[in-house]
Amino acid sequence: MSPDNVPILRVNDLLKRFGGFHALDGLTFHVSSGEILGLVGPNGSGKTTAINVISGLYAPDRGEVLFDGTSVGGMASHKLVHRGINRTFQVPKPFMSLTVRQNLEVARTYGRAGASGPSMSDLLEEYRLADVADRPAHDLTNVQQKMLDLVRALATQPRLLLLDELAAGLNPTELDWIAERIKALAKGGLAIIVVEHLMGFIEQITDRVIVMNAGKEIFEGTLAVAVKVPEVIEVFLGGEHAA
Amino acid sequence: MLYPLIAGVLFGLYFSLVGIGLNLVFGVMRIVNLAHGDFLMLGAFVAFGVYTAAGLDPLVGVPIAFALFCVAGLLLYWILVPRLQRARDPEMLSFILFFGFSQVIEALTTIVFGTSERSIPSRELANSLSGVRAAIFGGEATNGPFQIFGLSFPASWVVAATVSVIAIGCVYLYLYRTRLGTLTRAVMSRREEAIATGINVDRVSAAAFGIGLGLAAVAGVFAPFMFGSFTPAFGIDATVTSFVVVVLGSLGNPLGTALGGVVYGVSYMLVQTYLSSWADLLPYVLLIAILLLRPSGLLGRRVRVA
């Protein structure tokens, strides 16, 4: 594991175009082991695109993605999983006909990045899936599918975890509970990048946020400071609120 | 009535083999291989070559065609498919690409072999096994008709149906009893999830594409016996038939193709027997009927939007 002050992921000058649209336009940031970094911004600001590029779903058109000192930009997703980068999806898509347990078995068997880690029963217990472990994924509620998506990613023992709107659809009690789980994961040394619209949740769990707009970083620091920056207020609420 | 039913089942099992490769490729890659029938036609040329050039039992063409087209499929996958997958609408683009590919295969085969119809005498198929047959069923070591419920059926139909059952059984074993098969089913179920799980989707897809083309070529080995003759233009008809069989069973569910094949085969034989002048319309009528009545196919678990 990298020392806490040495970034495990560095993203330099990332550019991603879709036709003439620049979804990412010179994005640069880093995240260290044990840190929870929030990516926030209005819809279309490039948060999910950033996660898609880091997780290998898209190849960057320019720029560098360095994971543990190695350039991994454009590397196939499955290779990144084996190197220790995994993610969750906004809309979870588990193997629907497989049971919860079988979904995890597939992840542990084919995507394992580390040699040790929590047992399957511990993961199921910890993320409240033990009672439904032998039910097919299509029987699960939306929240349970989200937890399965998270546990599937954790089962591969990542060193960098990308969470794409994990909190959407969770009730306040569930939000508090999952916030504690995420903080515990970071305490264990996992680097976590969170994309989220729920600012209360972001404030509760992140050490630092990057505020994005039009594919660029417009602020880096704590959320408490970000909400006082006129440029940040402008992109979230419109020009007249920034004055 | 019994004769067309039994003949229909024999043909149906063969039609399952005709379609299963197309469905495997679609299930894994969401790519409609409109050149599927052309690989089947090339398989028929393998059987013809084995019989006329090498003087061997056309059945020898089965392992040759499978191996040859598995390798061709792997090569073709790495050349064509990754580019296709990067397109915004790979399913639509696959129609155009593989339609063009089908035309190229047909044109090149016509240039090399001409347009004349080719056939292989029915008794030549599995002739080398007639001794084995005599040992099992008794009688003389000839490749004469098979008796089923007192009715005579050409031995070639029975051989084609038997090989089809074996091939479908092998596909089942591959999908449900091998590591590669587990990965293949994972990719068929959820491509994105499979990638996020750490599965090398390209390698799995290449294997499925190779196996799909290999199965098409194996079906092609029996085409001269099931349809009487073949030409380079045979590919288009074979693609249409495969498509109907696959849609009948369930698009994206390779084992549903077995049921689709039998339903198609029995319908084909009944129409051939009682309304033979309408037989050419059957694939289209069945296709329209299934799309209107049950678009997800007979064994469809989920309705495809695209």
Closest alpha carbon within chain B to A81? B198
Question: Which residues, 6 or more positions from B70, have their beta carbon under 8 angstroms from its beta carbon?
Answer: B210, B211, B213, B214
How far is B156 from B158, CA to CA, in rounded Å? 5
- CB-CB under 8 Å, A98 with B195: no
β-bridge pairing A21-32 and A36-40: unpaired
Residues 204-243 on A with a CB inside 8 Å of B are none
Output the six-digit token pair for B123: 């008794």
* Structure letter (DSSP) for residue A241: G
Closest alpha carbon within chain B to A88? B196
Phi, psi of A86 (to 5 degrees): -140, 170
Q: A136 near A97, Cβ under 8 Å?
A: yes
Specify the pLDDT at position B91.
Answer: 77
β-strand partners of A12: A64
Closest alpha carbon within chain A to B200? A78
Specify the pLDDT at position B303.
Answer: 42
Output the six-digit token pair for B82: 């990754």
How far is B258 from B299, CA to CA, in rounded Å? 10
Partners of A76 on chain B (C-beta within 8 Å) are: 200, 202
Residue type, B286: L
Specify the pLDDT at position B304.
Answer: 41
Question: Which residues, 6 or more positions from A43, have their beta carbon under 8 angstroms from its beta carbon?
Answer: none
Task: Among B189, B192, B198, select the one facing A111 at the smallest CB separation.
Answer: B198
- Tens digit of pLDDT per residue, chain A (243 long)? 444 567 999 999 999 999 889 999 999 999 999 999 999 999 889 999 999 999 998 999 999 999 999 999 989 999 999 999 999 999 998 998 889 998 998 898 888 766 677 788 999 999 999 999 999 999 999 999 999 999 999 999 999 999 999 998 899 999 999 999 999 999 999 999 999 989 999 999 999 999 999 999 999 999 999 989 999 888 876 655 554
Nearest one of B72, B61, B112 to B219, comparing CA atoms: B61
Task: Among B189, B195, B202, select the one facing A97 at the smallest CB separation.
Answer: B189
Distance, in angstroms, between B200 CA and closest chain A CA?
Answer: 6
Q: B117 near B234, Cβ under 8 Å?
A: no
Q: Crossing angle of helices B179-189/B2-29, nearest 10°? A: 80
Residue A39 φ/ψ region, left for φ over 0, alpha for ψ in the -120 to 50 degree band, beta for the rest? beta
- CB-CB under 8 Å, A110 with B183: yes
Nearest one of A214, A221, A218, A216 to A230, comparing CA atoms: A218
- CB-CB under 8 Å, B202 with A57: no
- CB-CB under 8 Å, B198 with A89: no
How far is A104 from A106, CA to CA, in rounded Å? 5
Closest alpha carbon within chain A to B182? A106
- Supply the DSSP string of B110-143, one letter for each residue: HHHH-S--B---GGGTTGGGHHHHHHHH-S-S--
Nearest one of B20, B21, B26, B39 to B91, comparing CA atoms: B26
Task: Among B183, B196, B202, select the one facing A86 at the smallest CB separation.
Answer: B196
Residue B26 φ/ψ region, left for φ over 0, alpha for ψ in the -120 to 50 degree band, beta for the rest? alpha
ipTM above 0.90, yes or no: no
- CB-CB under 8 Å, B186 with A95: yes
State in Å, rounded, how far the first CA of chain B is from the last one.
39
How far is A107 from B15, CA to CA, in rounded Å? 37
How far are the Cα atoms of A11, B15, B139, B167 from residue B156, in angstroms, in the given order? 64, 14, 18, 16
Number of A/B CB contacts below 8 angstroms equals 56
- Supply the DSSP string of B246-292, one letter for each residue: HHHH-TT-TTHHHHHHHHHHHHHHHHHHH-GGGGGGHHHHHHHHHHH
Distance, in angstroms, between A55 CA and closest chain B CA?
Answer: 9
How far is B35 from A187, CA to CA, in rounded Å? 55
pTM metric for this prediction: 0.81
Closest alpha carbon within chain B to A111? B198
Distance, in angstroms, between A173 CA and closest chain B CA?
Answer: 28
Q: B199 near B206, Cβ under 8 Å?
A: no
Residues 135-154 on A with a CB inside 8 Å of B are 152-153
Output the six-digit token pair for B146: 């098979």
Inform me whether the C-beta atom of residue A96 falls under 8 Å from chain B C-beta atoms: yes
Q: A227 near A233, Cβ under 8 Å?
A: yes
Mean pLDDT of successive 10-residue segments in chain B (306 residues)? 90 95 89 93 96 92 97 93 77 88 96 94 80 68 77 90 95 90 88 88 93 97 94 93 89 83 91 86 85 80 44
Nearest one of A198, A112, A115 to A156, comparing CA atoms: A112
Task: Among B183, B192, B200, select the one facing A93 at the smallest CB separation.
Answer: B192
CATH number assigned to the domain with residue range A7-84+159-241, chosen from the 4 options 3.40.50.970, 3.30.1780.10, 3.30.70.2390, 3.40.50.300: 3.40.50.300
Nearest one of B228, B171, B202 to B22, comparing CA atoms: B171
Distance, in angstroms, between A236 CA and closest chain B CA?
Answer: 31
- CB-CB under 8 Å, B190 with A110: no
- CB-CB under 8 Å, B198 with A110: yes
Parts of chain A belonging to CATH 3.40.50.300: 7-84+159-241
Distance, in angstroms, between A109 CA and closest chain B CA?
Answer: 9
Interface of B with A (CB under 8 A): 182-183, 186, 189-190, 192-193, 195-202
Inform me whether the C-beta atom of residue A77 falls under 8 Å from chain B C-beta atoms: yes
- Domain residue limits, chain B: 2-112+153-293
Residue B211 φ/ψ region, left for φ over 0, alpha for ψ in the -120 to 50 degree band, beta for the rest? alpha
**What DSSP element (H or E) covers B28?**
helix B2-29
